[in-house]
Amino acid sequence: MNPAISPLLTDLYQLTMAAAAWQAGVAEQESVFHLFFRRLPFGGGYAIAAGLEPALEWLENFRFSPEDIAYLAALKAGNGGPLFKREFLDYLAAMKLALKVEAVAEGSVVFAHEPLLRVTGPLVQAQLVETALLNVINFQTLIATKAARVCEAAAGGTVVEFGLRRAQGPDGGVAASRAAYLGGCAATSNVVAGQIHGIPVKGTHAHSWVMAFDDEQEAFDRYVEAMPDNSILLVDTYDTLDGVAKAIEAGKKLVARGHRLDGIRLDSGDLAWLSIEARKRLDAAGFTDAKIVASNDLDEHLIESLRHQGARIDVWGVGTQMVTGGGQPALGGVYKLGAIRGADGEWKPRFKRSEQSAKASVPGILQVRRYEVDGRFVADAIYDETRSLPDEVVVIDPADPLRRKQVPEDAFYTDLLRPVMRGGRRMLPAEALEKIRERVKKQLTAVDPAVKRLANPHAYPAGLEGTLAARRDELNRREA
């Protein structure tokens, strides 16, 4: 059993609702669901959409095997009898995915309340895929966003993801490595992620290597003899600056053999001061091109602080805080029904009321229109595709109706949700990870620097188009 492609990667209530819909005769009723999140992660000003490719792979493999059906047949209800009727299980066994999916391109900059995916199709099928889609999209979007923030903080410095040993299991480790690379990291220490996704792999050595020898100098010499072209030496096992001096001696021996010292790594202590002192010693010895790598529970805030302190760090190794989404354990994405087709063939909007304005759902078949002026993103409007937009578009924050922006008349626009799947089959080949990475870089250059600030970022105007906001508010009042 492979969870990455199993249709049982779901919550039980998805199956019990499916059984109830089948019995009620509404299983095949056409419906539209939207996947989105309500709050930007890490207190930031943007997010990076990620996880679309693995989500589409899961959808393409969606089918109930005989083993899956046998397991479901063995589940018991409260009275000890079968939880599911045999006829319903036969229905599942014969099911072929007939869903349409529109999605924001992976690697796009996105904002709260904007649908990342729109799923259209039979009610039961659209519900059965909810949990897996949220599992994949939520996690990878969270980690890709963290990576983008860390790389922004590094301000052009190289960031390497070092997090496998602290990740949430093997699957989480590989998914995090993919999302971190997508978000801007240059490489990973995770070898299996390198094999699966084609991510460059990088690594140094551990303290245990130095401790295995009686003398630190001997440990460095033996390491660079074995790895003359992968010669980054971890210098803080004992005395850090003494370790730098010994790394320089090992570097001189490398040069004599026609190689060069790639650099040193700092993993503890005052990284700002130590990196400055290490840089002085390396430069004085002629190793001006040797890199200084730093690790030790780094995140975007610490990296920004170290840079402001004048740290001479070239490569940032970020582990735990990267792959666990340090500072925020989950994205909090949701999957909500927006419309259902009635017996008359007409779409009927569906609405979930809430006393909290931000949690009231948005009715309709939603699309996101992004407006640009001179290559800079200026506003995003969520609108209902079944209704025409007014000549003057006003964007209203779903959580705060007083926050609104009129879109400039000369703005160029693009609709972000694009067709990616029809009838359960993807419409285009899988997108290369390198292409997605380039999209992240390009899109971030179009975001105002104030939106990318780590602390108190400017709020980008993304929200409901005015007439859609008015319709949602009216439905909220009517239900009240």
The pLDDT score that the predictor gives to residue 356 is 65
Q: Which residues contact 318 (CB under 8 A, 6 or more apart)?
A: 150, 159, 160, 161, 162, 163, 185, 295, 298, 299, 303
Picking from 150, 59, 66, the residue whose alpha carbon sits closest to that of residue 99 is 59
pLDDT tens, 85-126?
999 999 999 999 999 999 999 999 999 999 999 999 999 999
| Mean pLDDT across 383-394 | 93
pLDDT tens, 136-165?
999 999 999 999 999 999 999 999 999 999
Which domains are delineated in the chain? Answer: 203-314 (3.20.20.70)
pLDDT band at 2 (very low <50, low <70, confident <90, very high): confident
SS3 293: strand
- How much is the pTM? 0.96
> 131-145, 340-354, 370-384: lowest mean pLDDT where?
340-354
How far apart, in whole angstroms, are the C-alpha atoms of residue 179 and residue 195? 15
How far apart, in whole angstroms, are the C-alpha atoms of residue 305 and residue 282? 23
Q: Which residues contact 330 (CB under 8 A, 6 or more apart)?
A: 138, 139, 142
Question: Would you say residue 447 has pLDDT above 90?
Answer: yes
> And the tokens for 306?
């170290």
In sequence order, what DSSP letters do the residues of 395-457 get, joined into one string? EEETTEEEEEEEPPTT-EEEE--EEEEETTEESSPPPPHHHHHHHHHHHHHTS-TTTT-SSS-
The pLDDT score that the predictor gives to residue 355 is 66
pLDDT band at 478 (very low <50, low <70, confident <90, very high): confident
In sequence order, what DSSP letters do the residues of 171-186 get, joined into one string? HHHHHHHHHHHHHT-S
> Mean pLDDT in the chain?
96
Question: Would you say residue 1 has pLDDT above 80?
Answer: no
How far apart, in whole angstroms, are the C-alpha atoms of residue 136 and residue 142? 10
- Percent of the chain surpassing pLDDT 90: 92
pLDDT tens, 357-379?
667 789 999 999 999 999 999 99
pLDDT band at 480 (very low <50, low <70, confident <90, very high): low
pLDDT tens, 219-236?
999 999 999 999 999 999
The pLDDT score that the predictor gives to residue 207 is 98
Helix (H) or strand (E) run with residue 477 in it: helix 466-479
The pLDDT score that the predictor gives to residue 80 is 95
Picking from 285, 218, 295, 209, the residue whose alpha carbon sits closest to that of residue 245 is 285
**Contact at 8 Å (CB) between 374 and 415?**
no
Question: Would you say residue 354 has pLDDT above 80?
Answer: no
pLDDT tens, 7-54?
999 999 999 999 999 999 999 999 999 999 999 999 999 999 999 999
Phi-psi region of 259 (alpha: psi -120 to 50; beta: other; left: phi over 0): beta
> And the tokens for 449?
């620097």
| Mean pLDDT across 313-321 | 98
pLDDT band at 217 (very low <50, low <70, confident <90, very high): very high
Name residue 36's beta-bridge partners. 334
pLDDT tens, 260-282?
999 999 999 999 999 999 999 99
